[in-house]
Structure 1
Amino acid sequence: MSDQTCPCGSGRTLATCCGRYHGGAPAPDADALMRSRYSAYVLGLEAYLKATWHPDTCPANLELDATPRPQWLGLTVKAYTPLDEHHATVEFIARYKLNGRASKLHEVSRFEKIDGHWLYADGEIRE
C-alpha cells in the first residue's frame, strides 16, 4: 500500500494520504473526509464508508459488490466550503466508466462533525 498512488488525485501515496484515514485516523476536515470516501469507493472499503456516514442517513447496504462495478477514473473537487466548525459542503465531480460508458457524478455533499469526527450526511446531485 505504501507505494500506491492515492486514488483521490492528491499525487501522494495512499499510505500518506487517504490510507491513514482508512486506518482509523480522523479526517481533519470535510474535504479530507470526502477525498478518503472517494478512495474508499475505488478500493471497495464498505466498512469505512459506513463508519463515516451519518447514522441518520446511512443505508443498510451499499452494494459495492454489485456487478458490474463502476471503474472509477478520477476525482475533481470544485469547492470546499466550511459553514461553521461543525458543518461544511464539498462540491465534486467523480468520473467513472460503467459497462464501457463514461459518466460522471457531480454532487454537493453535506458533512457534519459529531464527537470530533466528520461524517457524510447527504448530497445534492448536480447536472
Structure 2
Amino acid sequence: MKKSSFQAASCPCGSGAAYESCCGRWHAGERRLLAPDAAALMRSRYSAFVRDELDYLLATWHSSTRPAALEPNPPGLQWLGLQVRRHEQIDADHAIVEFVARSRLNGRASRLHETSRFVREDGRWFYIEGDFHD
C-alpha cells in the first residue's frame, strides 16, 4: 500500500481520527516531531512502525539509546492494534507509557507489552527505552 493511501484512512494508532489530523501531524509538516506529551509520541511511534516511517522513529529515539539503523517491516507483517494502558507524567520532563501492540506475521500472532520511558529535551519528547512484560 502506498503511503499516500493512508491519508484519508483512520490513524493506525486506533484513535479513530484521520491519520493526517492525528499522528500524521507529528510525522510531517510544520508540527513534525512536536508531539505534546509522551502518550502522543507513543501513539505516533506506533503509527510510524505501521507505516515504516523509519526516519521518524530514529528522530524520536533519544540519542543515548538510539540504534544506528532500523529495518523495515518484514513482508507479510500485519499490525493489529495498539492499546495504551497507562500514561504517567513523572515530572515536567519525564513520563512513562505502558502499552500493548499486537501484530501477526505469517499467521502467527505476537503481542508486545512494554512500559516505555520518555524524556523531554528542548521542548521535544523522546523515547528512551522500555521494560517488556510477559
TM-score range, shorter chain: over 0.9
TM-score (norm 2): 0.90
Q: CA, structure 1 residues 124+25, in 2 after alignment: closer, same or farther (shift >3 Å)? A: closer
Residue 25 of structure 1, CA deviation: 5.0
2:36 counterpart of 1:28: yes
Query: 1:10 maps to which residue?
Result: 15
The superposition leaves residues 79-105 of structure 1 with CA deviations (integer Å, 9 ceiling, x where unpaired) of 000000000000000000012101100
String of CA shifts for 1:56-88, please: whole Å, max 9, x gaps: 1000121125x3453111000000000000000
Q: Distance in 1 between matches of 2:77 and 2:93?
A: 32
Structure 1 residue 97 and structure 2 residue 104: aligned?
yes
Alignment length (residue pairs): 126
Given that 2:33 and 2:60 are in contact with CA atoms closer than 8 Å, whether structure 1 keeps it comes out as no
* 1:47 partner amino acid: D
CA RMSD of aligned residues (A): 1.2
1:1-127 aligned at under 5 Å gives the runs 1-23=6-28, 24-65=32-73, 67-68=74-75, 70-127=77-134
Listed as ranges, the gaps of 5+ residues in structure 2 are 1-5
Structure 1 counterpart SS, 2:8: coil
Could you list the structure 1 runs, at least 4 aligned residues long, displaced by more than 4 angstroms after superposition: none
